Structure 1
Amino acid sequence: MVDWDALSAVGTVLAVFVALGLASQAERQRARSDRQRAGLVAARLLETVRHMADKTHHHMAMLAFYEDNRDWTKHDFLSHLTDMGQMLEGIGVSTIQALEPLPGNTANRLAMAIGVVDTLAREAEGLRARQSWSDVGASARKHYVARWGSLAARANDYFRVVQRELEAAAEVAAPRPSGEELYGSWGADD
Protein backbone atom coordinates (compact mmCIF):
# COMPACT_ATOMS: atom_id res chain seq x y z
CA MET A 1 0.00 0.00 0.00
CA VAL A 2 1.24 3.47 -0.90
CA ASP A 3 1.66 5.97 1.91
CA TRP A 4 0.44 9.13 0.18
CA ASP A 5 1.21 11.31 3.17
CA ALA A 6 4.86 10.23 3.08
CA LEU A 7 5.10 10.77 -0.68
CA SER A 8 3.47 14.16 -0.33
CA ALA A 9 5.97 15.12 2.38
CA VAL A 10 8.91 13.98 0.23
CA GLY A 11 7.51 15.91 -2.73
CA THR A 12 7.14 19.03 -0.61
CA VAL A 13 10.71 18.74 0.68
CA LEU A 14 12.03 18.26 -2.88
CA ALA A 15 10.04 21.28 -4.09
CA VAL A 16 11.56 23.37 -1.31
CA PHE A 17 15.08 22.25 -2.27
CA VAL A 18 14.48 23.09 -5.93
CA ALA A 19 13.06 26.51 -5.04
CA LEU A 20 16.00 27.26 -2.75
CA GLY A 21 18.45 26.11 -5.41
CA LEU A 22 16.88 28.35 -8.05
CA ALA A 23 16.81 31.31 -5.66
CA SER A 24 20.43 30.68 -4.70
CA GLN A 25 21.48 30.50 -8.35
CA ALA A 26 19.69 33.77 -9.12
CA GLU A 27 21.35 35.41 -6.11
CA ARG A 28 24.81 34.23 -7.24
CA GLN A 29 24.18 35.62 -10.73
CA ARG A 30 23.02 38.95 -9.27
CA ALA A 31 26.07 39.12 -6.98
CA ARG A 32 28.40 38.37 -9.93
CA SER A 33 26.70 41.08 -11.99
CA ASP A 34 27.00 43.54 -9.09
CA ARG A 35 30.73 42.75 -8.72
CA GLN A 36 31.26 43.27 -12.46
CA ARG A 37 29.46 46.62 -12.30
CA ALA A 38 31.50 47.62 -9.25
CA GLY A 39 34.67 46.81 -11.19
CA LEU A 40 33.57 48.99 -14.10
CA VAL A 41 32.70 51.89 -11.78
CA ALA A 42 36.03 51.39 -9.99
CA ALA A 43 37.88 51.62 -13.30
CA ARG A 44 35.95 54.80 -14.14
CA LEU A 45 36.61 56.49 -10.77
CA LEU A 46 40.19 55.36 -10.17
CA GLU A 47 42.00 58.33 -11.72
CA THR A 48 39.65 60.83 -10.07
CA VAL A 49 40.25 59.26 -6.67
CA ARG A 50 44.03 59.16 -7.26
CA HIS A 51 43.96 62.82 -8.19
CA MET A 52 41.88 63.70 -5.13
CA ALA A 53 44.21 61.72 -2.86
CA ASP A 54 47.14 63.71 -4.24
CA LYS A 55 45.24 66.99 -4.06
CA THR A 56 44.09 66.50 -0.46
CA HIS A 57 47.64 65.50 0.48
CA HIS A 58 48.95 68.70 -1.13
CA HIS A 59 46.38 70.84 0.70
CA MET A 60 47.06 69.02 3.94
CA ALA A 61 50.76 69.88 3.61
CA MET A 62 50.01 73.44 2.51
CA LEU A 63 47.82 73.98 5.56
CA ALA A 64 50.30 72.26 7.89
CA PHE A 65 53.04 74.67 6.83
CA TYR A 66 50.81 77.71 6.59
CA GLU A 67 52.51 80.97 7.53
CA ASP A 68 50.13 83.78 8.42
CA ASN A 69 52.51 86.51 7.28
CA ARG A 70 52.73 85.11 3.74
CA ASP A 71 50.74 86.87 1.01
CA TRP A 72 48.17 84.21 0.12
CA THR A 73 46.26 86.48 -2.26
CA LYS A 74 48.80 85.73 -5.00
CA HIS A 75 47.99 82.02 -4.75
CA ASP A 76 44.20 82.41 -4.51
CA PHE A 77 44.32 80.19 -1.47
CA LEU A 78 40.55 79.81 -1.06
CA SER A 79 39.85 78.95 -4.69
CA HIS A 80 42.23 75.99 -4.46
CA LEU A 81 40.09 74.62 -1.66
CA THR A 82 36.78 75.25 -3.43
CA ASP A 83 38.04 73.63 -6.65
CA MET A 84 38.30 70.28 -4.89
CA GLY A 85 34.56 70.21 -4.23
CA GLN A 86 33.75 70.98 -7.86
CA MET A 87 35.87 68.05 -9.04
CA LEU A 88 33.65 65.59 -7.16
CA GLU A 89 30.23 66.96 -8.09
CA GLY A 90 29.74 64.34 -10.82
CA ILE A 91 30.03 61.41 -8.42
CA GLY A 92 26.47 60.75 -7.31
CA VAL A 93 24.99 58.40 -4.76
CA SER A 94 24.06 55.80 -7.39
CA THR A 95 27.68 55.68 -8.55
CA ILE A 96 28.88 55.23 -4.99
CA GLN A 97 26.24 52.55 -4.35
CA ALA A 98 27.55 50.58 -7.31
CA LEU A 99 30.78 50.13 -5.31
CA GLU A 100 28.97 48.33 -2.45
CA PRO A 101 30.22 44.84 -3.45
CA LEU A 102 33.86 45.94 -3.06
CA PRO A 103 35.61 45.00 0.19
CA GLY A 104 36.84 47.35 2.87
CA ASN A 105 33.71 49.52 3.06
CA THR A 106 34.89 51.19 -0.15
CA ALA A 107 31.55 52.77 -1.00
CA ASN A 108 31.05 54.15 2.51
CA ARG A 109 34.58 55.46 2.69
CA LEU A 110 34.30 57.16 -0.69
CA ALA A 111 31.04 58.76 0.44
CA MET A 112 32.77 59.97 3.61
CA ALA A 113 35.74 61.38 1.67
CA ILE A 114 33.43 63.24 -0.69
CA GLY A 115 31.42 64.57 2.24
CA VAL A 116 34.55 65.83 4.00
CA VAL A 117 35.82 67.52 0.84
CA ASP A 118 32.40 69.01 0.23
CA THR A 119 32.40 70.47 3.75
CA LEU A 120 35.88 71.88 3.26
CA ALA A 121 35.01 73.39 -0.11
CA ARG A 122 31.71 74.88 1.08
CA GLU A 123 33.34 76.49 4.11
CA ALA A 124 36.08 77.99 1.95
CA GLU A 125 33.55 79.16 -0.66
CA GLY A 126 31.32 80.70 2.01
CA LEU A 127 34.23 82.59 3.50
CA ARG A 128 35.44 83.64 0.07
CA ALA A 129 31.99 85.04 -0.77
CA ARG A 130 31.93 87.15 2.40
CA GLN A 131 35.47 88.52 2.49
CA SER A 132 38.98 88.12 1.22
CA TRP A 133 41.41 85.94 3.14
CA SER A 134 43.50 88.97 4.11
CA ASP A 135 40.41 90.58 5.70
CA VAL A 136 39.86 87.61 8.01
CA GLY A 137 41.23 88.20 11.51
CA ALA A 138 44.43 86.42 12.53
CA SER A 139 42.74 84.22 15.16
CA ALA A 140 39.98 83.26 12.70
CA ARG A 141 42.59 82.44 10.02
CA LYS A 142 44.37 80.22 12.54
CA HIS A 143 41.08 78.47 13.32
CA TYR A 144 40.24 77.92 9.65
CA VAL A 145 43.74 76.66 8.82
CA ALA A 146 43.62 74.14 11.69
CA ARG A 147 40.09 72.99 10.80
CA TRP A 148 40.74 72.74 7.08
CA GLY A 149 44.04 70.97 7.66
CA SER A 150 42.21 68.41 9.79
CA LEU A 151 39.50 67.98 7.14
CA ALA A 152 42.09 67.60 4.37
CA ALA A 153 43.93 64.96 6.41
CA ARG A 154 40.70 63.01 7.03
CA ALA A 155 39.71 63.16 3.37
CA ASN A 156 43.20 62.05 2.36
CA ASP A 157 43.04 59.04 4.68
CA TYR A 158 39.75 57.94 3.13
CA PHE A 159 40.86 58.58 -0.45
CA ARG A 160 44.08 56.55 0.02
CA VAL A 161 42.20 53.51 1.34
CA VAL A 162 39.53 53.80 -1.37
CA GLN A 163 42.25 54.17 -4.01
CA ARG A 164 43.77 50.79 -3.10
CA GLU A 165 40.41 49.02 -3.34
CA LEU A 166 39.57 50.71 -6.65
CA GLU A 167 42.98 49.74 -8.05
CA ALA A 168 42.38 46.09 -7.17
CA ALA A 169 38.86 46.07 -8.63
CA ALA A 170 39.87 47.99 -11.76
CA GLU A 171 42.76 45.60 -12.41
CA VAL A 172 40.27 42.73 -12.58
CA ALA A 173 37.63 44.63 -14.58
CA ALA A 174 39.97 46.43 -16.96
CA PRO A 175 43.48 44.95 -16.82
CA ARG A 176 46.20 47.00 -18.42
CA PRO A 177 46.78 45.87 -22.01
CA SER A 178 49.78 43.62 -22.54
CA GLY A 179 52.49 44.39 -25.07
CA GLU A 180 51.08 41.72 -27.33
CA GLU A 181 47.63 43.30 -27.19
CA LEU A 182 49.08 46.70 -27.97
CA TYR A 183 51.61 45.82 -30.67
CA GLY A 184 50.62 42.37 -31.85
CA SER A 185 52.52 39.15 -31.55
CA TRP A 186 56.24 39.29 -32.35
CA GLY A 187 57.04 36.70 -34.92
CA ALA A 188 53.46 36.17 -36.00
CA ASP A 189 53.22 35.62 -39.72
CA ASP A 190 51.31 38.42 -41.41
Structure 2
Amino acid sequence: MPTDQANRFGAAVRARRAELAITLDQLAAASGVSRGTLSRIENDALNTSLANATAIARALGVALSDLLEQAGSEPVLVPAAELTTFTADNGIRRASLARPAPGVELIAYSVPPGARSAEFPAHRSRTEEVLHVLAGRLEYVVGEHRYQLAAGDTLSARADAPHHFGNPGKRVCAFHMLTITPR
Protein backbone atom coordinates (compact mmCIF):
# COMPACT_ATOMS: atom_id res chain seq x y z
CA MET A 1 0.00 0.00 0.00
CA PRO A 2 1.58 3.38 -0.99
CA THR A 3 2.41 5.60 1.99
CA ASP A 4 -0.24 8.25 1.30
CA GLN A 5 -2.93 5.56 0.91
CA ALA A 6 -1.66 3.82 4.08
CA ASN A 7 -1.94 7.12 5.94
CA ARG A 8 -5.52 7.57 4.75
CA PHE A 9 -6.24 3.92 5.65
CA GLY A 10 -5.20 4.68 9.24
CA ALA A 11 -7.54 7.68 9.31
CA ALA A 12 -10.38 5.55 7.88
CA VAL A 13 -9.83 2.91 10.60
CA ARG A 14 -9.81 5.61 13.30
CA ALA A 15 -13.00 7.18 11.87
CA ARG A 16 -14.85 3.83 11.67
CA ARG A 17 -13.75 2.92 15.21
CA ALA A 18 -15.06 6.30 16.46
CA GLU A 19 -18.31 5.73 14.54
CA LEU A 20 -18.75 2.42 16.37
CA ALA A 21 -17.64 3.98 19.68
CA ILE A 22 -15.18 1.18 20.41
CA THR A 23 -11.76 1.41 22.01
CA LEU A 24 -8.43 0.30 20.60
CA ASP A 25 -8.49 -2.56 23.12
CA GLN A 26 -11.89 -3.71 21.86
CA LEU A 27 -10.75 -3.54 18.24
CA ALA A 28 -7.57 -5.43 19.14
CA ALA A 29 -9.60 -8.20 20.78
CA ALA A 30 -12.01 -8.43 17.84
CA SER A 31 -9.35 -8.32 15.10
CA GLY A 32 -6.44 -10.21 16.65
CA VAL A 33 -4.16 -7.26 15.83
CA SER A 34 -2.33 -5.87 18.86
CA ARG A 35 -3.36 -2.57 20.42
CA GLY A 36 0.10 -1.14 19.74
CA THR A 37 -0.02 -2.10 16.07
CA LEU A 38 -3.50 -0.61 15.72
CA SER A 39 -2.35 2.61 17.36
CA ARG A 40 0.61 2.88 14.97
CA ILE A 41 -1.65 2.20 11.97
CA GLU A 42 -4.14 4.86 13.05
CA ASN A 43 -1.34 7.37 13.68
CA ASP A 44 0.33 6.78 10.31
CA ALA A 45 3.41 5.26 11.90
CA LEU A 46 2.98 1.82 10.31
CA ASN A 47 2.00 0.43 6.92
CA THR A 48 0.02 -2.71 7.66
CA SER A 49 -0.04 -6.07 5.93
CA LEU A 50 -2.96 -7.26 3.84
CA ALA A 51 -3.76 -9.90 6.47
CA ASN A 52 -3.95 -7.27 9.24
CA ALA A 53 -5.95 -4.87 7.07
CA THR A 54 -8.47 -7.63 6.28
CA ALA A 55 -8.76 -8.62 9.95
CA ILE A 56 -9.28 -4.98 10.98
CA ALA A 57 -11.96 -4.45 8.35
CA ARG A 58 -13.76 -7.64 9.40
CA ALA A 59 -13.67 -6.57 13.06
CA LEU A 60 -15.04 -3.14 12.10
CA GLY A 61 -17.89 -4.81 10.21
CA VAL A 62 -16.98 -3.43 6.79
CA ALA A 63 -15.36 -4.77 3.66
CA LEU A 64 -11.70 -3.94 3.22
CA SER A 65 -12.61 -2.14 -0.01
CA ASP A 66 -14.90 0.17 1.99
CA LEU A 67 -12.02 1.18 4.26
CA LEU A 68 -9.75 1.70 1.26
CA GLU A 69 -12.42 3.79 -0.46
CA GLN A 70 -12.87 5.80 2.74
CA ALA A 71 -9.12 6.19 2.77
CA GLY A 72 -9.55 8.18 -0.41
CA SER A 73 -12.06 10.61 1.14
CA GLU A 74 -9.53 13.42 1.53
CA PRO A 75 -9.26 15.91 -1.33
CA VAL A 76 -7.49 14.39 -4.31
CA LEU A 77 -6.22 16.39 -7.26
CA VAL A 78 -5.53 14.42 -10.41
CA PRO A 79 -3.88 16.53 -13.11
CA ALA A 80 -5.39 16.06 -16.58
CA ALA A 81 -2.14 14.48 -17.79
CA GLU A 82 -2.49 11.75 -15.13
CA LEU A 83 -6.11 10.70 -15.78
CA THR A 84 -6.68 7.04 -16.56
CA THR A 85 -8.04 7.03 -20.09
CA PHE A 86 -9.00 4.35 -22.58
CA THR A 87 -9.74 4.75 -26.27
CA ALA A 88 -11.78 2.06 -28.03
CA ASP A 89 -11.15 0.98 -31.61
CA ASN A 90 -14.09 3.12 -32.75
CA GLY A 91 -12.50 6.24 -31.20
CA ILE A 92 -14.70 6.52 -28.09
CA ARG A 93 -12.51 7.90 -25.32
CA ARG A 94 -13.29 7.22 -21.64
CA ALA A 95 -11.56 9.02 -18.78
CA SER A 96 -12.22 8.04 -15.17
CA LEU A 97 -12.40 11.41 -13.39
CA ALA A 98 -13.23 10.46 -9.80
CA ARG A 99 -14.58 7.88 -7.40
CA PRO A 100 -15.70 10.22 -4.60
CA ALA A 101 -17.57 7.59 -2.58
CA PRO A 102 -18.22 3.85 -2.59
CA GLY A 103 -20.42 2.97 -5.55
CA VAL A 104 -20.02 6.39 -7.22
CA GLU A 105 -17.91 7.08 -10.31
CA LEU A 106 -17.62 10.15 -12.54
CA ILE A 107 -16.53 9.46 -16.14
CA ALA A 108 -15.84 11.78 -19.08
CA TYR A 109 -16.59 10.49 -22.57
CA SER A 110 -15.70 11.78 -26.01
CA VAL A 111 -17.65 10.11 -28.83
CA PRO A 112 -16.77 10.69 -32.50
CA PRO A 113 -19.60 11.31 -35.00
CA GLY A 114 -21.44 8.08 -35.82
CA ALA A 115 -19.67 6.04 -33.11
CA ARG A 116 -21.64 3.75 -30.81
CA SER A 117 -20.55 2.07 -27.58
CA ALA A 118 -20.66 -1.64 -27.00
CA GLU A 119 -23.77 -2.98 -25.29
CA PHE A 120 -23.24 -2.70 -21.53
CA PRO A 121 -24.84 -5.42 -19.42
CA ALA A 122 -27.39 -4.45 -16.80
CA HIS A 123 -25.87 -2.97 -13.65
CA ARG A 124 -26.98 -4.01 -10.18
CA SER A 125 -30.64 -3.27 -9.38
CA ARG A 126 -31.38 0.43 -8.74
CA THR A 127 -28.12 1.63 -10.31
CA GLU A 128 -28.54 5.14 -11.74
CA GLU A 129 -26.58 6.81 -14.50
CA VAL A 130 -26.68 10.59 -14.78
CA LEU A 131 -25.48 11.91 -18.14
CA HIS A 132 -24.74 15.57 -18.90
CA VAL A 133 -23.92 16.51 -22.48
CA LEU A 134 -21.24 19.19 -22.76
CA ALA A 135 -21.07 19.36 -26.58
CA GLY A 136 -22.68 17.64 -29.55
CA ARG A 137 -25.54 15.15 -29.54
CA LEU A 138 -25.98 11.86 -27.69
CA GLU A 139 -28.39 8.96 -28.01
CA TYR A 140 -28.70 6.86 -24.86
CA VAL A 141 -30.62 3.57 -25.01
CA VAL A 142 -31.49 1.60 -21.88
CA GLY A 143 -33.79 -1.39 -22.16
CA GLU A 144 -36.71 -0.31 -24.37
CA HIS A 145 -36.16 3.42 -23.76
CA ARG A 146 -34.33 5.68 -26.22
CA TYR A 147 -33.28 9.22 -25.26
CA GLN A 148 -31.95 12.01 -27.51
CA LEU A 149 -29.81 14.60 -25.75
CA ALA A 150 -28.17 17.82 -26.97
CA ALA A 151 -25.54 20.07 -25.42
CA GLY A 152 -26.72 21.22 -21.99
CA ASP A 153 -29.18 18.35 -21.51
CA THR A 154 -29.02 16.10 -18.45
CA LEU A 155 -30.61 12.68 -18.13
CA SER A 156 -30.99 10.51 -15.01
CA ALA A 157 -31.90 6.93 -15.84
CA ARG A 158 -31.88 3.50 -14.24
CA ALA A 159 -29.10 1.40 -15.73
CA ASP A 160 -30.27 -1.97 -14.43
CA ALA A 161 -31.06 -3.11 -18.00
CA PRO A 162 -28.70 -3.56 -20.96
CA HIS A 163 -27.74 -0.15 -22.35
CA HIS A 164 -25.53 1.69 -24.82
CA PHE A 165 -24.92 5.16 -26.20
CA GLY A 166 -23.96 6.68 -29.52
CA ASN A 167 -23.34 9.93 -31.32
CA PRO A 168 -25.94 10.54 -34.07
CA GLY A 169 -24.49 13.98 -34.80
CA LYS A 170 -21.88 15.34 -37.20
CA ARG A 171 -19.45 16.56 -34.55
CA VAL A 172 -17.78 15.06 -31.48
CA CYS A 173 -20.04 14.53 -28.48
CA ALA A 174 -18.53 15.21 -25.06
CA PHE A 175 -20.44 14.17 -21.97
CA HIS A 176 -19.97 13.32 -18.32
CA MET A 177 -21.57 10.27 -16.74
CA LEU A 178 -22.08 9.79 -13.03
CA THR A 179 -22.79 6.15 -12.12
CA ILE A 180 -24.36 5.56 -8.71
CA THR A 181 -24.54 1.95 -7.58
CA PRO A 182 -26.54 1.29 -4.38
CA ARG A 183 -24.74 -0.50 -1.61
**Superposition TM-score, scaled by structure 1 size:** 0.22
**Superposition TM-score, scaled by structure 2 size:** 0.22
Which protein is richer in strand relative to its size?
2
Based on CA coordinates, which of the two structures has the bigger radius of gyration? 1
Which protein is richer in helix relative to its size?
1
